[in-house]
C-alpha cells in the first residue's frame, strides 16, 4: 500500500504509515472498511521487525500533539514578525510605490534618503563639534614627523648633515571642563622630550597663563589680552570660549535646520513624472525607476517665499545668531525683512521662463537614490548641469560627479569601486577642461589629472562620522607625476590613528602620523602663591623675561640629549630666508623722465590718496 499523506510504501498488514504516522486506508477488496476511533488512534503503535528484533513506537498523546502544534505556530508567527520588522523599509517602499501618487512616492523617497543623509551628517558634525566645543572634553594627541632615508639624503645635499634627525613631533594633552581649558605641549626629537609648554585658560574669568619650564620658571600672564578679547566686538567676546569655536551651531540645531528647509524644498517639488531609466558610470550599468522633477520660475518663487517666511520665526536661527553677540539676530531679521519685501514686490512678475530646473532622480528597488542629474536653465539661455550618479551592479559601484556649463564639462570625477564585507575599494580620476588649466607649464594634460585610489573604506564607520581606510592621490599629467600623497586613517570615538605620507616612487619621503585617545590628561593648574608672574602687557617685564630665557641652552641640550645639532638647521633656514628677502630700502637706480610725475597726476588721481602731498 501507498500512504496518501507522504507517498511512502506501507508494509502489508500495517494500519499506519511507518514514516509519517498517518492511518492508512485499506485498499478496496470487497471487505467493509473498519473505522478506528480517536481513542484507538491515540493508542496505536508501529511494530518493526529487524533481524528478529521488535520495537514499539507510540504516537504522542493528543494533548501533547496540540501543544507541539502551538509551539510550531508560535515559532512561525515570530519568524513572520521578524521578517516584517527587518523588511519594514522594503514593505513601506513597496506600498508607497504601488498605491500612492507619483509625487507622493517621489517625496517619500526624497524624505527617506534625506533622513539617512542627515544621520550621517549629524554624526560627522557632532564628532567635529564635540572635539572643539564640548563642555567636558579631553584628548591626548601625538604628532610625529618622520623623515625617510631618501629625503635625508636629498636634504644633506645642501651641505647640512640630516642623518641624525629621524623624527620630530609634538605630544599635546588637552582637556576642557567647566569653561577652563588646560594644555600641555611637549616637543620631541628622536623620541626624546626637549621642550614643554604648559597653558591654563579660564575665559569666563579672563585668566590666562603660559609657562615654558626649560626656558624660565616664570609664568607669562596674558590675562589682559583675554579681557580685551572678551570685551571686543568679535562675536561678543565669545569666539574663543570653549576651545575657540563656541560660535559653531550645536549639532541638534544644525540637524533641525537641515530637516526644516529640506522638507520645504521636498514639499514644493510636486511636478513629477515617473519612468524607467538606465545609469552608467565607470563601466557599471543599472536600470532604475526614474523621476523627472520640473520646477519653474513661479514654483521657485513659492519655494523661496516659503523658506523666507519660515526663517522669520525659526528659533534655531535665532539661537545660532545670538552666539555672535548682541544685535546679531536683529541685524539678520532686518536683512530678512528687506529680502521678503523685495520678493513680494516681484510677485506676479516672475515667469516660468525666468528660471527652469529639470531634475532626473534615479531610485533602486529599495527606495535608495542612486543618481541625480540637475539641469538649470536661465532666461538668457545659460545652462548648468550637475551630475551625481552611482549605479550598482552586484558588488560593483560606478561613480560620476561632474559640473558642466552650456554643454562643456569643466570638472568631473569618475571611476569604479568594489564593495566587499562592508568596505569599498576602487579607483577614481579627476579631470578638468583644458580651458581652466591652472598652469600649462607644469600640467601637460588636464584629462585624468588626479587619480584617487581608495582601499578598504569602511562604510559603517563613515556613517558614524569616522573615516577608516586608505586614500592615495597621484597625478600622471604634471611635473610632479613621480610623487603621491597617501592617507591612512583608522579609528573611532575613543581612538584615532591617521597618517599622511609623501611618496616618491615606492619610497616614503616624509610621514606625518597623528595618534589620539580619550585617556586621562595631566592636570595643569594656574599659578599659585610663590609662583612668579610676568605680565605680557608690560613691555619692560617681557624684555626682562626674554633676556632670562636662553634658547641656546635648549639647542645645546638637544644636541647632548638627542644627538642632533639644531644650530646647523637654524643657520640653513636663515640662509634660505635671506635669499628670498626683499629689502625695500636697498639702493636702486631709477631713470625718471621729466614728465613722469605730470603723467601720474591726472584729474582722475588724487595725489593725497597716495601720500604724495600732505594737506596744511
pLDDT in tens, 390-401: 999 999 999 999
pLDDT of 29 strictly over 90: no
- 491 pLDDT exceeds 50? yes
Q: Distance between CA 17 and CA 14 in Å, rounded?
A: 7
Q: CA-to-CA distance for 41 and 35, rounded, in angstroms?
A: 10
C-alpha cell belonging to residue 375: 539641469
* Reported confidence tier of residue 5, pLDDT bands at 50, 70, 90: low
Check residues 34 and 274 and name the one with the higher pLDDT: 274
pTM equals: 0.68
Give how far Cα 538 sits from Cα of 218, 292, 541, Å. Answer: 14, 69, 5
Contact predicate 361/344, CB 8 Å: no
Residue 532 burial (C-beta neighbours within 10 Å; 0-12, 13-18, 19+): exposed
- Residue 210's closest CA among 182, 248, 241, 245? 182
Given a cut of 70, is residue 497 above it in pLDDT?
A: yes
pLDDT of 42 over the 70 cut:
no
Q: Nearest 5 degrees, angle CA 355-CA 358-CA 360?
A: 160
Comparison of pLDDT for 489 and 506, the residue scoring more: 489
Average pLDDT over residues 463-485: 86
What is the mean predicted confidence (pLDDT) over 81-98? Answer: 51
Least confident of 87-101, 213-227, 267-281, 411-425: 87-101
Q: Which residues of 586-606 are buried (b: 16+ CB within 10 A; e: fewer)?
A: eeeeeeeeeeeeeeeeeeeee
174: which strand partners?
A: 139, 183
Cβ–Cβ under 8 Å, residues 525 and 184? no
Q: Are 264 and 270 in contact (CB under 8 A)?
A: no
The DSSP 8-state label assigned to residue 523 in this structure reads -
Among the residue ranges 151-155, 228-232, 352-356, the one predicted with the least confidence is 228-232
pLDDT at residue 421, as a whole number: 93
Taking a C-beta distance cutoff of 8 angstroms, is the pair 253, 318 a contact? no
If residue 533 lies in a helix (H) or strand (E), which one and from where to where?
A: strand 533-535
**Does residue 46 surpass a pLDDT of 50?**
no
What whole-number distance in Å separates Cα of residue 58 and Cα of residue 222?
94
**Is residue 159 exposed (0-12), middle (13-18) or buried (19+ Cβ within 10 Å)?**
exposed
The region, left, alpha or beta by phi > 0 then psi within -120 to 50, assigned to residue 52 is left
On whether the CB atoms of residues 8 and 2 are closer than 8 A, the answer is yes
First to last CA, the chain: 131
Sign of CA dihedral 12, 17, 23, 28: negative
Say yes or no to pLDDT of 583 above 90: no
| Alpha-carbon distance values, 577 to 179, 247, 551, 571 (Å) | 41, 38, 20, 10
pLDDT at 494 over 50: yes
Closest CA to 300 of 385, 377, 404: 377
Q: In the predicted model, what is the mean pLDDT of residues 52-62? A: 49
Give the pLDDT confidence score for residue 25 in this predicted structure.
64
* pLDDT of 198 above 50: yes
Cα distance between residue 19 and residue 297, in whole Å:
76
The residues pairing with 355 across neighbouring beta strands, listed in sequence order, are 378
Nearest alpha-carbon partner for 522 in 305, 300, 249, 197 = 197
Beta-bridge partners for 9: 2
Closest CA to 109 of 398, 361, 299: 361
Helices (H), 87-222: 88-99, 102-133, 149-156
Residue 224 has pLDDT above 70, yes or no: yes
Residue that is written with C-alpha cell 539678520 in the block: 332
For residue 214, which phi and psi values (nearest 5 degrees)?
Answer: -70, -20
**Rounded distance between C-alpha atoms, residue 142 and residue 185, angstroms:** 10
Q: What is the pLDDT of residue 73?
A: 62
Please state, in angstroms and rounded to a whole number, the distance separating the CA atoms of residues 133 and 583.
Answer: 44
Report the number of secondary-structure helices (H) and strands (E) in the chain: 15, 23
Do 118 and 259 contact (CB within 8 A), yes or no?
yes
Report the mean per-residue pLDDT for the chain.
80
Residue 402 has pLDDT above 70, yes or no: yes
pLDDT over 60 at 356, yes or no: yes
More confident residue, 132 or 270: 270
- Would you state the pLDDT for residue 590? 44
Which residues touch 270 (CB under 8 Å, ≥6 apart)? 103, 107
State how far the alpha carbon of 212 is from the alpha carbons of 140, 141, 196, 230, 551, in Å.
19, 19, 6, 25, 11
| Pairing mode of beta strands 369-378, 383-389 | antiparallel
Q: Given this model, what pLDDT does residue 120 score?
A: 87
- Mapped onto helix, strand or coil, the DSSP state of residue 316 is helix
Instruction: Compute the distance between CA of residue 479 and CA of residue 473 in angstroms, rounded to an integer.
Output: 15
Euclidean distance between CA atoms 318 and 337, whole angstroms? 14
Mean local confidence (pLDDT), 225-246: 57
Q: What is the pLDDT of residue 579?
A: 56
Three-class SS state of 564:
coil
Q: Are 248 and 129 in contact (CB under 8 A)?
A: yes
- pLDDT tens track for 417-444: 999 999 999 999 999 999 988 888 788 8
Query: Distance between alpha carbon 257 and the CA centroid of its chain, in Å?
Result: 18
Mean pLDDT of 521-543: 90
* DSSP string of 204-262, one letter each residue: GGTEEEEE-TTT-SPEEE-HHHHHHHHTSSGGGGTTTGGGGTTTSPPHHHHHHHHHHHH
| DSSP annotation string for 71-102 | HHHHHHHHHHHHHHHHTHHHHHHHHHHHHS-H
Amino acid at each position: 500500500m501507498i500512504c496518501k499523506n507522504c507517498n511512502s510504501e506501507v508494509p502489508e498488514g500495517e494500519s499506519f504509515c511507518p514514516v509519517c504516522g498517518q492511518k492508512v486506508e485499506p485498499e478496496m477488496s470487497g471487505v467493509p472498511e473498519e473505522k478506528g476511533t480517536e481513542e484507538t488512534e491515540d493508542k496505536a503503535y508501529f511494530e518493526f521487525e529487524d533481524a528478529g528484533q521488535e520495537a514499539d513506537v507510540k504516537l504522542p498523546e493528543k494533548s501533547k500533539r496540540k501543544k507541539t502544534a502551538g509551539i510550531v505556530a508560535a515559532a512561525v508567527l515570530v519568524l513572520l514578525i521578524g521578517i516584517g520588522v527587518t523588511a519594514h523599509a522594503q514593505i513601506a517602499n513597496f506600498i508607497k510605490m504601488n498605491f500612492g501618487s507619483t509625487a507622493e512616492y517621489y517625496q517619500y523617497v526624497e524624505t527617506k534618503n534625506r533622513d539617512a543623509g542627515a544621520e550621517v551628517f549629524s554624526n560627522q558634525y557632532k564628532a567635529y563639534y564635540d572635539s572643539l566645543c564640548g563642555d567636558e572634553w579631553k584628548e591626548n594627541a601625538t604628532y610625529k614627523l618622520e623623515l625617510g632615508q631618501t629625503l635625508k639624503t636629498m636634504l644633506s645635499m645642501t651641505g647640512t648633515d640630516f642623518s641624525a634627525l629621524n623624527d620630530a613631533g609634538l605630544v599635546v594633552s588637552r582637556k576642557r571642563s567647566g569653561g577652563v581649558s588646560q594644555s600641555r605641549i611637549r616637543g620631541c626629537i628622536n623620541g626624546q622630550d626637549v621642550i614643554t609648554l604648559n597653558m591654563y585658560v579660564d575665559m569666563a574669568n579672563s585668566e590666562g597663563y603660559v609657562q615654558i619650564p626649560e626656558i624660565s620658571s616664570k609664568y607669562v600672564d596674558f590675562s589682559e589680552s583675554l579681557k580685551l578679547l572678551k570685551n571686543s566686538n568679535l562675536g561678543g567676546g565669545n569666539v574663543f570660549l570653549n576651545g575657540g569655536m563656541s560660535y559653531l551651531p550645536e549639532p541638534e540645531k544644525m540637524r533641525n535646520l537641515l530637516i526644516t528647509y529640506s522638507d520645504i524644498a521636498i514639499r514644493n517639488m510636486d511636478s513629477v513624472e515617473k519612468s524607467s531609466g538606465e545609469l552608467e558610470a565607470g563601466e557599471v550599468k543599472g536600470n532604475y525607476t526614474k523621476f523627472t522633477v520640473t520646477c519653474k520660475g513661479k514654483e521657485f518663487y513659492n519655494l523661496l517665499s516659503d523658506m523666507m517666511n519660515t526663517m522669520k520665526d525659526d528659533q534655531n536661527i535665532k539661537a545660532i545668531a545670538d552666539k555672535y553677540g548682541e544685535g546679531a539676530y536683529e541685524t539678520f531679521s532686518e536683512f530678512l525683512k528687506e529680502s521678503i519685501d523685495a520678493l513680494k514686490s516681484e510677485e506676479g512678475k516672475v515667469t516660468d521662463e525666468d528660471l527652469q530646473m529639470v531634475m532626473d532622480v534615479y531610485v533602486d528597488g529599495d527606495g535608495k537614490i542612486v543618481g541625480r542629474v540637475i539641469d538649470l536653465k536661465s532666461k538668457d539661455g545659460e545652462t548648468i548641469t550637475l551630475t551625481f550618479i552611482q549605479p550598482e551592479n552586484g558588488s560593483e559601484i560606478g561613480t560620476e560627479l561632474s559640473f558642466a556649463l552650456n554643454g562643456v564639462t569643466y570638472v568631473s570625477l569618475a571611476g569604479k569601486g568594489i564593495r566587499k564585507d562592508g568596505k569599498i575599494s576602487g579607483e577614481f580620476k579627476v579631470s578638468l577642461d583644458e580651458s581652466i588649466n591652472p598652469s600649462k607649464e607644469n600640467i601637460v594634460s588636464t584629462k585624468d589629472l588626479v587619480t584617487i585610489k581608495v582601499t578598504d573604506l569602511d562604510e559603517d564607520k563613515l556613517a558614524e562620522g569616522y573615516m577608516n581606510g586608505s586614500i592615495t592621490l597621484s597625478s600622471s599629467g604634471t611635473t610632479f607625476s613621480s610623487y603621491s600623497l597617501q592617507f591612512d586613517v583608522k579609528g573611532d570615538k575613543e581612538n584615532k590613528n591617521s597618517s599622511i605620507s609623501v611618496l616618491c616612487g615606492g619610497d616614503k619621503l616624509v610621514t606625518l602620523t597623528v595618534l589620539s585617545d580619550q585617556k586621562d590628561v595631566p592636570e595643569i593648574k594656574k599659578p599659585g602663591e610663590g609662583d612668579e608672574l610676568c605680565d605680557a602687557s608690560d613691555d619692560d617685564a617681557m624684555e626682562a623675561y626674554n633676556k632670562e630665557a636662553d634658547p641656546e641652552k635648549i639647542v645645546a641640550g638637544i644636541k647632548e640629549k638627542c644627538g642632533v645639532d639644531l644650530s646647523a638647521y637654524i643657520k640653513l633656514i636663515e640662509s634660505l630666508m635671506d635669499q628670498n628677502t626683499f629689502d625695500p630700502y636697498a639702493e636702486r637706480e631709477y631713470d625718471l623722465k621729466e614728465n613722469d610725475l605730470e603723467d601720474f597726476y591726472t584729474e582722475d588721481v588724487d595725489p593725497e590718496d597716495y601720500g604724495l602731498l600732505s594737506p596744511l
